Amino acid sequence: MFENIKNLPADPILGLMAAYRKDNNPHKVDLGVGVYKDEEGRTPVMRAVKAAEHHLLATQDSKTYVAPAGQDSFNHHIANLVFGKRLNTELGGRRVTFQTPGGCGGLRLAAEFVQKVRPGARILVSDPTWANHIPLLGDAGLRIETYPYYDKVNHGIRFDQMMDALSKAGSDDLVLLHGCCHNPCGADLTQQQWQAVTELALQNGFTPFIDMAYQGLGDGLDEDAYGVRLMAESLSELIVVSSCSKNFGLYRERTGALSLITGTQNATAAAASQIAATARGMYSMPPDHGAAVVATILEDQALNNDWQAELQQVRSRINDLRGALVKAIAEQGVDQDFSFIQAEKGMFSFLGLSVDQVHRLVNDYSIYLVDSSRINIAGINHNNLPYLASSIATVLKD
């Protein structure tokens, strides 16, 4: 059965991780892996998460299964976080939320659900988009096409071209949008642009499918949800996938959610039955621990306040690092303008380097990043920043 299996090429990010670990250069810098890191290069456990885990350890009295939809309290509080309490209340039975095994699990569950009810539906994704969107959605059977998004030369959104492409989408199509902190480019839609896309969705009838992986890491929890909430308030149908990996630091706990809005309570109830059956056939029940931690934090005002305070520190540090990187490169006498990095949001940006220049950074300077020149801003700290800026400048000047 297994004699003729062919090796697949290694995932570029996982390959970088392995090479970084083997590298003995004391100045090595990891800008590839998309996790938050502090000034010491650690991915810390947030204070509120530690406190919630202590509480659960002392009070949890069962490890029985949760339902395919997951923990009710988690789903309720996540829906409030994503949509806001007022809007979530107004949506009522038109909105249903399912706890999922991370944002990846939410994306795949949504894709499998859509494939059941609309086999072979077309989904338009931004060019570029997060690489894992393609297998997560495409392997479920959705037909993937791209729409123009990021201009790598001018470092901005190709909004006119984007709108022209989306104007051709219709009622049988989905459009994947990044809710905030676009991965990989960091260039987000403005409020006016969100309004224009919402109006186009109303006009043409396509269904927005929003991936909200970084709520709270851009401008703030409410600010980052502007587009999601505008569409939830304006449109009859919407899919939103959210993740707790980044804003709660629960990467390994695989904690996420899929929220669906339809035009009527009956339609939502029918869709929920299909989603539950789909989840049952994929992984049966979602893991509980991360969801229980999040629910505990969001239910307790003191823990909630402390979580938001630490999240603000994370967000401020990332935004400060953007400015520090731009300044450090400029101080190296580089003619190229990198100010676009300071204007972008979240953990990622493109440096705008060629593949050859990227390979020089990796091979000659032990600065690890993918060929597209996407970097994880949170991999920078004030100890490695001078070396990073000097290395980038050398590569650019040669």
Report the catalytic residues.
Answer: 130, 211, 246
Would you list the DSSP string of 189-248? --HHHHHHHHHHHHHH--EEEEEE--TTSSS-HHHHTHHHHHHHHH-S-EEEEEESTTTS
Both tokens of residue 22?
Answer: 């083997």
**Distance between alpha carbon 114 and the CA centroid of its chain, in Å?**
20
Contact 106, 242 (CB under 8 A): yes
Neighbours of 178 (CB within 10 A): 26
- Indicate the angle between helix axes 72-83 and 226-234, nearest 10 degrees: 100
Q: Please tell me the distance from the alpha carbon of residue 94 to that of residue 270, in angstroms, as a whole number.
A: 11
Local structure of residue 377 (DSSP, 8 states): G
With residues binned 3-state (H G I as helix, E B as strand, rest as coil), the percentages for the chain, rounded to 5, are 50, 15, 35
Both tokens of residue 345?
Answer: 């949001």
Please, is 205 exposed, middle or buried when counting C-beta atoms within 10 Å of its C-beta (0-12, 13-18, 19+)? middle
Q: Please tell me the distance from the alpha carbon of residue 124 to that of residue 20, in angstroms, as a whole number.
A: 34
Both tokens of residue 148?
Answer: 């123009």
